[in-house]
Amino acid sequence: MVPELEKPTVRILRPERVLGIIRAIKEQGSSKLQVISDFDMTLSRFGCNGRRCPTSHNILDNSRVVSEDGKKKLKDLLHYYYPIEIDPNRTLEEKRPLMVEWWTRAHDLLSQQKIQKGDIAQIVRESDVMLRDGFNELFDQLYKHNVPIFIFSAGIGDVLEEIIRQANVFYSNVNVVSNYMDFDDSGVLKCFKGPLIHTYNKNNSVLQGTEYFQQLSGRTSIILLGDSMGDLTMADGVPSVENILKIGFLNDKVEERRGKYLDSYDIVLESDETLDVVNGILRYILLET
């Protein structure tokens, strides 16, 4: 059915259930399908040749527009809060206020740097960001079959939109909800627009008023892509879900987190920097018979 599921990076706790969901989604057809995806470390790469790739925040942090002092403070925040973000031994309730703290402090620091709207494109061009191998096929397949993709990101919307624009895949079926920058009249960053989206509030609470899922209420088959335990709730605002397939990229602390990921995601991809499995499943589902 999907030869990519034989890749050594694939782990599945309940294979029969997964095949059942894939078959059901195919039966419903492309007109019932939507994709809901995280951006950082899900559509973008976690690493390349042993080096970490940047998140949309890191792209700004590492760029020439942030002062040395600002860089150091942002790095200190990352080193303090990132281990908390991915700690399998802390509850979401414990993590939530700490993530609000991290995002608020990072956004305050970035807002002090006089970042210009007109600089973002060049900052992205000069960064080490990479989309996962196979991103072209993913976006092309979805566009060709009129399947909407909703990118739900706790990263920085202005930066991630520029990444997909430069990759030439920002098609009309791509919708983004994320943290957007607010610039003053002269195009200088003054703050971030609300509501704040962090790793553990990616659910309906920050989607009020966007009406996106309501407009797509006939799209009852969902493929959800994420890399964090916080990404699992991204489809909670969809009014009537009939079939949902959750695919999780397990990038970091693989051994410690495997159990929780296998319990929560239908398919877990361990240290897999490609979109091969997602593309293989979509190819099977979208294949006209």
Give catalytic residues, as residue numbers.
38, 40
Q: What backbone torsions phi and psi does residue 34 show, to the nearest 5 degrees?
A: -140, 155
**One of 22, 43, 46, 57 touching ligand TMP (CB under 6 A):** 57
**One of 34, 113, 127, 153 touching ligand TMP (CB under 6 A):** 153
- Looking at the Cβ atoms of 102 and 243, the one nearer to Mg ion is 102
* Contact partner, 248, from ligand TMP, Mg ion, none, Cβ < 5-8 Å per class: none
The DSSP call for residue 132 is P
Please list every residue from 80 through 99 that binds ligand TMP, using CB under 6 A.
85
Q: Collapsing DSSP states into helix, strand and coil, what is residue 254?
A: helix
**One of 22, 33, 36, 38 touching Mg ion (CB under 5 A):** 38
- 51-57's contacts with Cβ under 8 Å and 24+ in sequence apart are 51/128, 53/128, 53/129, 53/130, 54/127, 54/128, 54/129, 55/155, 56/129, 56/153, 56/155, 56/156, 56/159, 56/160, 56/163, 57/106, 57/110, 57/155, 57/156, 57/159
Q: Does residue 228 bind ligand TMP (CB under 6 A)?
A: yes
List C-alpha distances in Å: 177 to 50, 71, 153, 203, 284. 30, 26, 6, 11, 28
Q: Does residue 273 bind Mg ion (CB under 5 A)?
A: no
H or E, element range at 140: helix 135-144
- Looking at the Cβ atoms of 148 and 230, the one nearer to ligand TMP is 230
**One of 25, 36, 41, 268 touching ligand TMP (CB under 6 A):** 41
Segment contacting ligand TMP (CB under 6 A): 128-136, 148-156, 187-195, 251-259? 148-156
Q: Does residue 227 bind Mg ion (CB under 5 A)?
A: yes
25: which residues sit within 8 A by CB, 6+ positions away? 32, 33, 221, 223, 243, 245, 285
Q: Which two tokens stand for residue 116?
A: 């210009």
Q: Does residue 179 bind ligand TMP (CB under 6 A)?
A: no
Q: Does residue 234 bind ligand TMP (CB under 6 A)?
A: no
Report in angstroms how near the CB of residue 107 gets to ligand TMP at its nearest.
7
Report in angstroms how near the CB of residue 14 gets to ligand TMP at its nearest.
25
Segment contacting ligand TMP (CB under 6 A): 32-40, 136-144, 217-225, 251-259? 32-40
DSSP 29-82: -GGGEEEEE--TTTTB-SEETTEEPPPHHHHHHTSTTS-HHHHHHHHHHHHHHH
Report in angstroms how near the CB of residue 205 gets to ligand TMP at its nearest.
15
Q: Does residue 43 bind ligand TMP (CB under 6 A)?
A: no
Chain contacts with ligand TMP (rule: CB under 6 A) = 38-41, 55, 57-58, 77-78, 85, 102-103, 106, 153-155, 199, 228, 230
